[in-house]
């Protein structure tokens, strides 16, 4: 019999409504007024259509075998913590399913629920219970925890009198003695001085070798390399890579390099864009559109590569175009891009322009500038697509339907 | 075929197992949630309503946490105070003194023939508990925001445990009442046997209101400011400082729609030895239970969104 996966994730996604935060926190009176004025829309959830959606996670497929130590890496906001939160049932997904086999212990923060007025001893029991340990279990491990944290003289002192080092040591010690079948750890090993960190790593090693399933989020790539059997790299809420730690870390480090150019202060490069009709709004999906892009080159370009890509407001890549063999002299030049029509749905889009010299992104060309263009492009057009969002797709093409029962010759 | 794989060309997930799409199978396995058997402990995480309806079994599994959190509040309540647990007695006793002076002496409030201090204290005892429990429970979720967003457990544990400290105060303060009954030589009848039942009813009522407010408080912080007013106004809608007989007969049914009215009057009957009014007690207990169920239902409905909006 094949072993069932400890964790099986199918198409998991989590979507937040931006602006919904203000909505949720608005006063009760407004909610009542809103409910009174548009009860129907509200009940059908229509008013949420005005909010921007943010996908913290999208379409995650993942299996974790029992005993596997899986590392999760990615930039801030890539969705790592969201994934752990969904798996530990703190928050629920917006789509997809996850099946978790075995008791979960999650450690998203050190010292959750510590109460500063209570003593070290009392906090061990409190924190242990919050993390899901039974009293008998804590009793059994009590001495071990105290020894690990090295706080035995201060056991009956209120933790508010602890030094911050003692505090985190105690907090970590409790958490480290959690023994669930599946352990999820979010970036908590970076506590205490280096001696204590070494101790923590040792403890994590023991856990990893004990055959327990571990999901481990960290920015400390060395820890990841040492502990994990497999590493998943998240980016923009998606799994971009999954494989052996060494490869995943290399992939991640490479992905870190590219956009950092975009953050650099602009000196030359792409300066400006607009439609030739003027402005950044398109009001018609069927007429030709020309956009002009102003580029200020520091050097002549030979055999260059120009990339123009268009994202929608959910960072979904809608379209991309490229021009190879670009020849340009240094100084300011305008680049024109004409599209016969731009059948996009109403909304906000953003261009991203990239220009390489001596080859393209694949052939070792040198990236001169990558610009997440501002302002954004607004499509101020009627919606021709399916009125239900889930069926509307990304294109916006005006259809002509025709139903005719008299002309069935093609079928006969 | 990889379901949804066409959307995510970059995924290189391990597909050594055949991808599963069999939803019926997963629904079946949801039933096997026994806590101790690791192999059988399967949790299905999915969006929507099925996040668990009120799960009493799970709540029971977490009873130790309920106890630990309640004890935390008890321990912390009077820490670093000079008078300590004496505050539990002082609060209702001081209220009794003030009410006796203003309502008993100055306003000459009738007290059904009992000494006014005793009369008002029998009501203040459960009322103080109710007021503390509602306030603590109603504010408990936002006070524990860090727990809610970092650890999983049935959220209902939080407002439930929040009444523990009030219950402790109630027990301490009731010793004073027993002492007063000796001094005034009133009460000490078999009616006292009903005190535990009445206490349970007040607990349910306080929990219902507290749980409802706790859930509302997460979404609408307005309720943090509503709670003190609500409690204050509610006290005057309840026969604490005045006897039920002050309310005209024809309006009494309305008085007893306030569950605390019937319960407080019940406490008076139990401690003072006057006959119980079965119908008012019945209405109030029914309403108390109704409020409790309403509170739990609303809380349960909101529970899955708490971590996102707190």
| The pLDDT of residue A218 | 86
Q: Tell me, what's the pLDDT at A2?
A: 57
Segment B207-229 shows an average pLDDT of 93
Q: According to DSSP H, which parts of A156-244 are helical?
A: 164-176, 194-209, 221-227
Q: What local confidence, expressed as pLDDT, does residue B52 receive? A: 54
Per-residue pLDDT for B16 more than 50? no
Q: Which of B20, B68, B309 sits opposite A24 (nearest CB)?
A: B309
Arithmetic mean of pLDDT, A29-40: 58
Say which CATH architecture domain A1-67+77-102+220-263 belongs to: 3-Layer(aba) Sandwich (3.40)
- Provide mean pLDDT across the span B34-50: 62
Question: For residue range A35-93, what is the model confidence (pLDDT) as tens digits?
Answer: 555 545 444 444 444 556 788 898 899 999 888 999 999 888 888 889 999 998 888 89
Distances (CA, A) of B235 to A111, B131, B166, B174: 40, 9, 17, 19
pLDDT, tens digit (0-9, with 9 covering 90-100), for A106-127? 888 877 888 988 999 999 999 9
**Cβ-based neighbours of B219, under 8 Å, separated by 6 or more:** A24, A25, B302, B309
Task: Report phi then psi at A233, rounded to 5.
Answer: -110, 120
Alpha helices for chain B (secondary structure H): 23-29, 56-61, 63-77, 86-99, 116-143, 145-150, 157-161, 164-184, 195-219, 222-236, 252-257, 259-272, 278-303, 306-309
Task: Please give the pLDDT value at position A266.
Answer: 52
Q: Which residues touch B247 (CB under 8 Å, ≥6 apart)?
A: B239, B255
CA A100, A104, A110, A111 torsion: positive or negative?
A: positive
> Quick one: CA dihedral A404, A405, A407, A408, positive or negative?
positive
Per-residue pLDDT, A333: 86
| Percent of chain B at pLDDT exceeding 70 | 85
Distance CA B198, CA B260 (A): 10
Residue A28 has pLDDT above 70, yes or no: no
Lowest mean pLDDT among A27-31, A248-252, B4-8, B100-104: B4-8
| Dihedral angle, C-alpha A9, A7, A92, B138, nearest 10 ° | 180
A113–B contact, CB cutoff 8 A: yes
* Partner B, chain A 77-106, Cβ-Cβ below 8 Å: 85-104, 106
CB atoms within 10 A of CB B144: 22
Give mean pLDDT, residues A359-381. Answer: 84
Q: How many CA atoms lie within 13 A of B83 on its CB side?
A: 6
| Predicted local distance difference test score (pLDDT) of residue A263 | 44
Scanning B204-223 for CB atoms below 8 A from A yields 216, 219-223
Q: Can you give the residue ranges of every domain in chain B?
A: 52-309
According to DSSP, residue A49 is labeled G
Whether B151 has its CB under 8 Å from any CB of chain A: the answer is yes
Q: What are phi and psi of A334, to 5 degrees?
A: -100, 140
Q: Report the pLDDT averaged over residues A355-372.
A: 86
Which part of chain A is CATH 3.40.50?
A: 1-67+77-102+220-263
Count of CB atoms within 10 A of residue A241's CB? 23
Q: Name the nearest CA neighbour of B3 among B18, B42, A231.
A: B18
Question: Does domain A269-392 match CATH 3.40.50.620?
Answer: no
The tokens describing B43, both together, are: 């949790």
Which two three-digit tokens encode residue A135?
Answer: 């009293």
Q: Mean pLDDT, to the nearest integer, of B195-206?
A: 95
List of long-range contacts for A382-390, beta carbons under 8 Å, 24+ apart: A382/A346, A383/A345, A383/A346, A384/A285, A385/A345, A389/A49
Position A34 pLDDT exceeds 70: no
Overall average pLDDT of the B211-216 stretch:
94
CA dihedral A103, A109, A110, A112 (to 10 degrees): -80
Kindly report which listed range (A70-74, A144-148, A171-175, A334-338) carries the lowest average pLDDT score: A171-175
Residue B294 phi, psi (nearest 5) = -60, -45
pLDDT tens figures, A287-307: 899 998 988 888 889 899 999
Put simply, the chain B residues between 3 and 32 with a CB less than 8 A from any chain A CB are: 3-5, 7-8, 10-14, 17, 19-21, 26, 29
The pLDDT tens digits of the residues spanning A258-277 come to 544 344 445 678 888 888 87
Reported as a single tens digit per residue, the pLDDT across B17-31 is 333 333 333 333 333
Tens of pLDDT, residue by residue over B267-277, are 999 999 889 98
- Flag whether residue A48 sits within 8 Å of chain B, measured between CB atoms: no
Answer whether residue B279 shows pLDDT above 70.
yes
Q: Which of A18-32, A233-247, B237-251, B294-308 has the lowest mean pLDDT?
A: A18-32
Average pLDDT value over all residues in chain B: 83
Task: Kindly provide the ipTM of the predicted complex, given to two decimals.
Answer: 0.78
Q: Tell which wins on pLDDT, B50 or A146.
A: A146
pLDDT, tens digit, for every residue of A160-210? 999 888 888 888 888 888 888 888 888 766 666 778 878 888 888 888 888
Q: Tell whether the model's pLDDT for residue B283 goes beyond 80.
A: yes
Residue A313 DSSP code: T
Give the per-residue pLDDT at A221: 83
| Residue that wins the pLDDT comparison between A220 and B283 | B283
pLDDT tens readout for residues B76-106: 888 888 888 888 999 999 999 999 999 999 9
pLDDT per residue over B145-157, tens digit each?
988 988 888 899 9
Query: How many other CB atoms sit within 10 Å of the CB of residue A385?
Result: 18
Q: Does B148 touch chain A (CB under 8 A)?
A: yes
Nearest to B160 by CA among B58, B70, B52: B70
Distance CA A139, CA A124 (A): 10
Contacts of A196 (CB under 8 A, 6+ apart): A165, A169, A172
- Are the C-beta atoms of residues B92 and B241 closer than 8 Å to each other? no
Measured from the Cβ of residue A77, the count of other Cβ atoms closer than 10 Å reads: 14
Chain B hits for A93, CB-CB cut-off 8 Å, are 45-47
Measured distance CA(B136)–CA(B268) in Å, rounded: 25
CA distance B22 to B30: 13
pLDDT at B17: 38
Residues spanned by CATH 2.70.50.60 within chain A? 269-392
* Beta strands, E only, A48-121: 52-64, 69-74, 95-101, 104-107
Q: What value, to the nearest 5°, has the Cα angle with vertex B305 and ends A52 and B70?
A: 150
The residue-averaged pLDDT of A332-348 equals 89
């Amino acid at each position: 019999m094949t072993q069932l996966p400890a964790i099986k994730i199918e198409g998991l996604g989590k979507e937040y409504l931006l602006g919904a935060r203000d909505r949720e926190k608005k006063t009760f009176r407004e909610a009542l007024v809103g409910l009174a004025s548009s009860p129907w829309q509200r009940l059908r959830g229509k008013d949420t259509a005005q909010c921007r959606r943010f996908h913290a996670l999208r379409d995650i497929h993942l299996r974790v075998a029992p005993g596997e130590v899986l590392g999760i890496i990615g930039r801030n906001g890539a969705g790592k913590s969201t994934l752990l939160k969904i798996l530990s049932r703190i928050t629920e997904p917006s789509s997809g399913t996850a099946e978790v086999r075995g008791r979960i212990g999650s450690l998203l923060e050190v010292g959750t629920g510590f109460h500063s007025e209570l003593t070290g001893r009392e906090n061990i029991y409190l924190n242990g219970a919050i993390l899901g340990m039974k009293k008998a279990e804590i009793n059994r491990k009590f001495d071990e925890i105290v020894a690990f944290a090295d706080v035995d003289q201060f056991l009956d002192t209120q933790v508010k009198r602890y030094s911050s080092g003692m505090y985190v040591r105690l907090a970590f010690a409790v958490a480290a003695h959690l023994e669930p079948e599946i352990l999820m750890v979010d970036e908590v090993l970076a506590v205490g001085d280096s001696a204590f960190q070494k101790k923590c790593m040792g403890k994590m090693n023991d856990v990893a070798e004990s055959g327990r399933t571990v999901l481990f989020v960290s920015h400390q790539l060395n820890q990841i390399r040492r502990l994990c059997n497999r590493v998943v790299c998240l980016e923009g809420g998606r799994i971009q890579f999954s494989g052996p730690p060494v490869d995943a870390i290399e992939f991640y480090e490479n992905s870190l390099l590219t956009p950092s150019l975009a953050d650099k202060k602009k000196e030359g490069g792409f300066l400006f864009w607009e439609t030739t009709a003027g402005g950044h709004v398109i009001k018609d999906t069927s007429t030709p559109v020309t956009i002009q892009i102003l580029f200020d080159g520091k050097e002549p370009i030979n055999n260059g590569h120009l990339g123009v890509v268009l994202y929608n407001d959910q960072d979904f890549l809608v379209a991309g175009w490229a021009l190879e063999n670009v020849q340009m002299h240094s100084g300011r030049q305008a680049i024109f891009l004409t599209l016969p029509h731009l059948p996009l749905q109403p909304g906000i889009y953003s261009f991203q322009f990239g220009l390489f010299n001596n080859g393209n992104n694949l052939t070792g060309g040198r990236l001169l500038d990558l610009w997440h263009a501002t302002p954004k492009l607004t499509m101020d057009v009627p919606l021709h697509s399916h009125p239900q969002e889930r069926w509307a797709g990304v294109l916006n093409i005006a259809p002509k339907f025709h139903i005719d029962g008299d002309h069935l010759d093609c079928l006969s | 075929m990889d379901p949804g794989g066409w959307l995510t060309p970059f995924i290189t997930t391990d597909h050594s197992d055949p991808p599963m799409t069999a939803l019926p199978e997963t629904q079946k396995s949801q039933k096997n949630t026994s806590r101790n058997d690791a192999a059988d402990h399967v949790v299905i995480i999915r969006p929507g309503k099925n996040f668990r309806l009120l799960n009493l079994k799970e709540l029971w599994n977490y009873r130790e946490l309920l106890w630990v959190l309640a004890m935390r509040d008890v321990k912390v309540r009077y820490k670093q105070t000079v008078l300590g647990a004496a505050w539990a007695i002082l609060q209702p006793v001081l209220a009794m003194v003030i009410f006796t002076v203003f309502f008993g002496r100055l306003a000459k409030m009738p007290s059904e023939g009992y000494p006014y201090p005793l009369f008002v204290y029998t009501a203040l005892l459960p009322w103080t508990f109710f007021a503390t429990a509602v306030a603590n429970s109603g504010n408990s979720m936002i006070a524990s925001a860090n727990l809610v967003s970092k650890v999983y457990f049935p959220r209902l544990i939080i407002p439930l445990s929040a009444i523990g400290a009030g219950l402790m105060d109630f027990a301490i303060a009731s010793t004073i009442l027993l002492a007063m009954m000796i001094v005034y030589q009133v009460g000490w009848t078999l009616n006292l046997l009903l005190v535990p039942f009445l206490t349970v009813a007040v607990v349910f009522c306080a929990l219902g209101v507290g749980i409802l407010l706790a859930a509302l408080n997460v979404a609408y912080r307005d309720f943090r400011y509503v709670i003190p007013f609500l409690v204050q106004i509610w006290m005057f809608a309840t026969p604490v400082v005045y006897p039920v007989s002050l309310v005209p007969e024809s309006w009494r049914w309305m008085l007893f729609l306030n569950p605390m009215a019937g319960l407080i009057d019940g406490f008076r009957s139990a401690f003072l030895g006057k006959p119980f009014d079965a119908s008012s007690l019945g209405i109030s207990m029914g309403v108390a239970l109704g409020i409790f169920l309403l509170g739990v239902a609303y809380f349960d409905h909101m529970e899955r969104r708490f971590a996102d909006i707190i």
